[in-house]
Amino acid sequence: MEIKLNTKTILEKEFKSGLRGYNQEEVDLFLDDVIQDYQTFTKKIEALEKEIEQMKKQVETTPRRSAPPANTGGTNFDILKRISNLEKHVFGDKLND
């Protein structure tokens, strides 16, 4: 994708005037706003490109994690038993009512 305009091109653009042409001052004010936006967009793009490069370098230098830790021996039955014991401890005899 190629950008055709830059701030200099916009600033130096000359328009032909006709019989009922546009108000030159109004056109100039509008082009000033366009130039300011282009400058803002250009700065933002440059900042984002730098941030992307920094993040790429960070990813490259960050050590990769090995495989996830092995199962610590907790099966579904063990988990359910622990939950049951916890419920008994918290609710006590209320569970049997």
Distance in angstroms (rounded) separating the CA atoms of residues 8 and 35? 8
Among 6-10, 13-17, 93-97, top mean pLDDT goes to 6-10
Residue spans of the domains in the chain: they are 7-96
Per-residue pLDDT at 44: 94
Per-residue pLDDT at 81: 85
Q: For 29-76, write each residue's pLDDT tens digit.
A: 888 888 898 889 989 999 999 999 999 999 888 888 776 666 666 688
